[in-house]
Amino acid sequence: MLDLLYKRRSIRKFTNQDIEAEKLDRILQAALLAPSSKSAYPCEFVVIDEKQINEKLSVCKPLGAGFLKNASCSIIVAGDVTKSDVWIEDCAIAASFIQLQAEKEGLGTCWIQIREREYNDEQSAESYIQEVLNIPSNIKILAIIAIGYKDGEKAGRDETHLKKEKLHTNSF
C-alpha cells in the first residue's frame, strides 16, 4: 500500500489510449467498497467515457479542469443529501479509493474540485454539470476524477515529502 501511496501523483496529461473495461470495472468496485457513515451509502457515480461529454465538462470552471478534455474517462463523484448529512466525507473517501485503484491499474488520475466552485458569475460549476448530465438537484457534486493512461511519468514522492511536524502524540 505505501509503495502505491508514494507513487501516486496528480496526472493532468493523458494519452489517447482507452481504458480497458476490466480496469474500469475494478476501479468502480473500489468506489463501491468505500465505507459509509451509518451505512447510508449516499454516493452516486457517473462514468463519462465519451470524449465530447468530457470536453463539455472541462469548461465547468475557469481554471483547473481544462485538461479533462484529453482524459479517456472521468467519474463524477456525487452524494444524495437526502440520504446523509456527511455525504461529503463519504464521497471524498470513495473518490480517494477510485484514485488509488486507478494507480494500481497503471493509470493516472486527478481530482477536479466541483463543490464550492463557480462556472461563471451567475452559475456554479455544480449546476452547470447537473444541467449537462441531467443530475437532479438533491444529488450534490463533490468532484470529478479524471482518469487515463499517463502521458509521461511524474516522479513519485519520497520520505523528504513527509511533514513529520504534523504528527502529534497524546496531545497537540
Of the ranges 18-26, 27-35, 100-108, 111-119, which one interacts with ligand FMN (CB under 6 A)? Answer: 111-119
Q: What is the distance between the alpha carbons of residues 56 and 169, in angstroms, rounded to a whole number?
A: 47
Grid coordinates given for 143: 468532484
Among 4, 5, 10, 18, binds ligand FMN (CB under 6 A): 10
Q: Are 69 and 55 in contact (CB under 8 A)?
A: yes
Mask 50-89, x = binds ligand FMN (CB under 6 A)?
--------------x-------------------------
- Which of 24, 112, 139, 141 is close enough to bind ligand FMN by CB under 6 A? 112
Half-sphere exposure of 22 (CA within 13 A, CB side): 3
Q: Is 9 in the site for ligand FMN (CB under 6 A)?
A: yes
Give the nearest distance from C-beta 13 to ligand FMN in angstroms: 11
CB closer to ligand FMN, 10 vs 82:
10
Angle between helices 87-104 and 21-32 (to 10 degrees): 150
Given strand 43-48, what is the order of strands in its sheet? 43-48, 73-80, 139-148, 108-113
User: Of 14, 97, 111, 119, which lies in the binding site for ligand FMN, with binding defined by CB under 6 A?
Assistant: 111
**Is 119 an interacting residue with respect to ligand FMN (CB under 6 A)?**
no
**What is the CB neighbour count within 10 angstroms for residue 119?**
18
